Amino acid sequence: MTDLFAALDLTAPEITGGTLPVRSPIDGAVIAHVHETPLGDMPAVIARSQVAFRAWREVPAPRRGELVRLLGEELRKAKAELGALVTLEAGKITSEGLGEVQEMIDICDFAVGQSRQLYGLTIASERPGHRMMESWHPVGPVAVISAFNFPVAVWSWNAALALVCGDPVIWKPSEKTPLTAMASMKIMQRALARFGDAPEGLVQLVIGGAAVGDALVTSRDIPVVSATGSTRMGRIVGPKVAERFGRSILELGGNNAMIVAPSADLDMAVRAIVFSAVGTAGQRCTSLRRLIVHHSIRAGLVEKLARAYASLPIGDPRAVGTLVGPLLDMAARDAMLAALDQAHAEGGTVHGGVAVDAVAGGAYVTPAIADMPGQTAIVCEETFAPILYVMGYDTLDQAIAMQNDVPQGLSSCIFTLNMREAGAFLNAAGSDCGIANVNIGPSGAEIGGAFGGEKETGGGRESGSDAWKGYMRRQTNTVNYSDALPLAQGVRFDF
């Protein structure tokens, strides 16, 4: 562990003597005591970001993209070490820790190209001798509040785009995972040093709890707040940002479903279900939580899944072959077991969901399948754990209605070889989620598409497509190159 910290330039004074203990989910052991940002320092942090903004917005966007390109290079060099730290601090298995860093690299590549494509439109004017167009300009400092389950990737989604769009970034990571953020900032500093002339305060890190986050959320000098976390958190952040007419990008809860139709390739469906429901120990916002299966194949599919679940290696996520690592902590384990008790009380038959002593001190539980009589109260809640609720359906309309009948609206999918069913699922009367897939699970989105969802998921969009527009302000421009001054809509105002 000491060698890993040294490889990532985390020094002893930075990770000892602080007030915030950091525990590894692997065994519950304290691995660091980091220093929190004093609340009284927050005005100065925000002021530095504002000064940086005034300089950075004048830098041409392709030049800003060069900084992000350098960040991608530095991440490539540090991929193994940063991925290992993700595993240590967040409990992800080794391939998922490395995959998260690869996601950071991918969004850097995407953003570099985006830096030359911050396009506006040319618009036909009704007035002769006039030209209309829209342009996009940097909006100001962006606050990124990230969650423990993707401790570095979500920051990169925001930071890579915000930087090419001309905006400084202030990052407040989860207090559960500050070490990965500190390591990422070391990598960022190397990129900044190679870049050479970026303004001071362009990218900053603050560490602490709700009070530090609130200082960002309530500041009128932070026009954009990107917050990832629970719906409860979003209900606090969203109104506070809106009250000051700021802009929020909210990535909140998910209660994601898969519909399995009679024509589905069941072998492929089983593989998708197991990864989507069990990957990251069910602690992804896109984890599969509800399985809606046609009655004609339900019993057989549950039997296949139970066998697959029984074969999954559970244990230390650093060990070769492990597929199921720990939950974040004992509180997460207790929440999972309580949800399974409620599922049983609501008529469900539970397979798995047993606490195991895989590594002393860690919160390890066997993934659970809860065969439910219907979409009961507990099914409509999001429990951040590897619980898969299974329900049956008769008609596709019934299945889609069941899928949509939850408060969340992040990710969804259907497994079918019937083109009509696939089309119905993807149309306006189909899935109401921000992500809808066919013959692929709900988890594991690529950075090329905009990521986010509807309803209590918050409505935010990050990463690919045109999500960059969330970090800029739109301006409509009209140029009169004639020698007359006609008014729009035929209005006359002669004097």
* Angle at alpha carbon of residue 378, lines to 92 and 263, rounded to 5°: 75
17 CB neighbour count, 10 Å cutoff: 11
Would you please indicate which residues are annotated as catalytic (active-site) residues? Answer: 251
The closest alpha carbon to 284, from 339, 328, 343, 221, belongs to 328
Q: Please name the residues in contact with 60: beta carbons below 8 A apart, sequence gap of 6 or more.
A: none
In angstroms, the CA 231 to CA 354 distance is: 27
Return the SS3 of 493: coil
Tokens of 215: 């200082």
Q: Which helix (H) or strand (E) holds 305?
A: helix 295-310
In a 10 Å sphere around its CB, with 0-12 CB exposed, 13-18 middle and 19+ buried, how is residue 426 labelled? middle
Q: Which amino acid is at 386?
A: P
In angstroms, the CA 144 to CA 154 distance is: 9
Strands 247-251 and 224-228: parallel
In angstroms, the CA 324 to CA 319 distance is: 11
Strands 368-371 and 349-352: antiparallel
Q: Which amino acid is at 322?
A: T
CB neighbour burial string for 25-51, b if at least 16 within 10 angstroms, e if fewer: bbeeeebbebbbbeeeebeebbebbee
In a 10 Å sphere around its CB, with 0-12 CB exposed, 13-18 middle and 19+ buried, how is residue 304 labelled? middle
Tokens of 409: 């609206």
Q: What length is written for the chain?
A: 495
Q: Identify the sign of the CA torsion 163, 165, 169, 175.
A: negative
Q: Which amino acid is at 432?
A: D
Instruction: Report CA-CA distances (Å) from 122 to 131, 133, 134, 342, 479.
Output: 8, 4, 7, 57, 11
Q: Identify the sign of the CA torsion 273, 392, 337, 287.
A: positive
In angstroms, the CA 483 to CA 487 distance is: 13
The closest alpha carbon to 325, from 4, 5, 22, 94, belongs to 94
Residue 323: DSSP 8-state: -
